[in-house]
Structures are given as structure tokens and as C-alpha cells.
Amino acid sequence: MVPADASAKRDTDAAEGEAAQQVRDRTEEVDAAEDHRDQRAAIVYNPIKVDLEVLRAAVAAAAEEAGWQESLWLETSVDDPGIGMTKEAVAEGVDVVLAAGGDGTVRAVAEGLQGSDSALALLPAGTGNLLARNLDLTLDNLTEAVSTAFAGRDRNVDLGRMRLHRADGKIEEHAFVVMAGIGLDAQLMANTDDDLKKKIGWLAYAKSIGQALKGGRRIRLTSAYDGGKAHRRRLHTLLIGNCGSLPGNILLLPEAAVDDGVLDIVALRPDGLFGWLQISWKVLVENALLHRTGAGQRLKGAARDIRALNYQHAASIDVTLRAPEELELDGDGFGEVVKFEAWVDQHGLRVRVPDPDGR
């Protein structure tokens, strides 16, 4: 039999232990609340792409629920799609920058975040929303996207980097998060009516696609992977990807991963109509079936490479062009270049994604 005084002492110790745990829990809750009060978000927004009144209301509600400070609002301009605004936000010490706009806004914010500890949150509002698609993020639920910005977790992804050489000797450096290229896509960007794109989205490209498809191997260049030997090539289009999926659920780069530290590069070299048919079958049928279904994965080894479509993987690529060519980054035209170097900054960008544990 346990003595009465020993039993009483045990009960007292248990009660004191429970009380101490409750104090610790309350202290942790207070500390967490204090941490949240020190946090702040910035919203870099394209006024053409967003309903500002609705966006402000959604952000205010999420910030209040999370216990964050009042958010910083920065509007993009024609001259600056968001790089300078993002750098201003980083200088203010914000924890997360919400990119509210299309792919151009996302690319600009990502470029402005280089070297910082701030995270990128996506509020898709464009026609492509390519990074959000490749990360399987919300595309059509503003409340959920905003909630993720304040209550999600950070995921480290790769950031594409590119140094552009102009014909006049000028050199520029930019970032990209999805894809860069010369040829078909760059010509589409250069030839597409911006006003028409604003009205009907990706359908606007149909107006210029016929012109861009001309010429099977008209681009002449030399290219070198990972600092290796340079080789001469003739091709129609060269695409350098950090992600693999395009609008319409098209899987252009089936092996691409947003955090693997390498670039996925594809060269299109069609010879006439048959070459384009081969490319269409490979991209629209084989890539979709073999990489997105269980049966396709089992048949993956049966797929054969085709001459019209050549895939490569590299951490960097150097390209010198015989003649100036239009170049695009994440769907925006960047003018003509005569040379460029592209490389990947592995895990160079933090992106806010939903927290599966709800914390």
C-alpha cells in the first residue's frame, strides 16, 4: 500500500508538472505571436492584371489573421515590371513578396529577390502562370493563394540566370524561372500584338505562328555545354528550361525538375512538314502519355529520340549566333542578341507553397 503522504506528493508533482507545461505552451504561443507581429509582406502588383480592391481586401484579411504588420504595396510600371519594386521591398526587410500579375511580373520579382532571404509568393493573374502550373499551385482561387503567402511554407527552387550580349557590345544580366529561348517562341513574342494578347490571351499568338514556323534550320550558332567544346549547329528553335510544362498541359521538357540544379535544353530541327509532325507527336502524345501515366512509365524505354527534337541536360550553356536573334525570357521578349550564356543557380529562389500540415 502506498503511504497517503507519498500519494499526495505524487499528485502534487503531477499537477505542478501540468501547470508548468501549460505555462510553457502559453509562452510559446506568445513568442510565436510576437514573431508574427514582426513579419511583413510586400505586394508587387501589375495594375492591368489585378482587381486592386479585391486583392487589397484579401491581403488585409490574411495579414490580420496571421498577425502580421501592415503590408507594403508597390505598383509596377511600363519601365520597370517589378525588379526595382522588389529590391525596395527587400530593403524594407519584408519576409515575403507577393507577385500579383502575369509571368513577366513573377520573373521580375524573382530577379529582384536574388541574394535575399525573402520568399516569393505567387498570385497568378496572367495568361500563362507557368511557374504556378509547374509547382501545382492554385490558379483560380485568390483567397487560397493569398492564404498560402501568409501561412504556407518555403520551398527552395532553382533560378535560371542569363547574360545577354547585344550587337552594340552592351551586356545585360537577367533571371528566368521557367524557360528562355530563341527561335519559335521568341519570334511569337516579338510578332504578337500586345493589345490583342490582353484581350484574348494565348489565342493572340495564332496571328503570328505561321510566320514563326517558317524555315527548318535557319538559325546558325555554336554552342557549348558546361564549359566544354563548342559545336556548330543549325536549328529552328533552342529552348532552355528550368521547368517543363507549358499552357494547355503541354509537357515540352519531360525530364525537367524545378530543383535539380540543371537546365533542360531542347533543340528543334524540323525538315519540312514531316519534321513538325514528328515534333507534335513527340510533345503532344509521347511526352504526355509516357511521363504522366503509369502505363506510359512502363513503356518509357520503347520511346525513341527523333532527329527533329534533341534533348540535352547541363548546368550551363554558352551560345554564339551567326546573326542577331530575338530572345525571350518567361514569355517576354528581350530583343535581339548575338551571344548569351545561361546557367542555373541551384535553390537560388525561395517560393511560398501550401503547408500540408496546415501550420
Q: What is the CATH number of the domain that holds 245?
A: 2.60.200.40
Same domain, 266 and 320: yes
pLDDT of residue 281: 80
pLDDT of residue 11: 61
Same domain, 239 and 171: yes
Same domain, 302 and 168: yes
Rounded to 5°, angle at Cα 243 from 117 and 150:
40
- Is the pTM of the predicted complex or chain greater than 0.85? no
Pair type for strands 245-246 and 250-251: antiparallel
pLDDT of residue 182: 93
Same domain, 105 and 185: no
CATH number, residue 98:
3.40.50.10330
Which residues of the chain fall short of a pLDDT of 70?
1-37, 185-217, 247-249, 290-305, 358-359
Pair type for strands 263-268 and 237-241: antiparallel
Same domain, 70 and 209: no
Domain holding 335, by residue range, is 160-347
Short-list 110, 90, 106, 134, CA closest to 45: 106
Same domain, 283 and 219: yes
Distance of CA 36 to the CA centre of its chain: 27
Q: Indicate the helix (H) or strand (E) that contains 162.
A: strand 153-165
Rounded to 5°, angle at Cα 177 from 84 and 210:
105
Classify residue 5: in a domain, yes or no.
no
Number of domains present in the structure of the chain: 2
Rg (CA), the chain: 25
In one letter, which amino acid is 218? R
Final residue in a domain of this structure, among 125, 151, 177: 151
pLDDT of residue 262: 97
Same domain, 45 and 66: yes
Classify residue 80: in a domain, yes or no.
yes
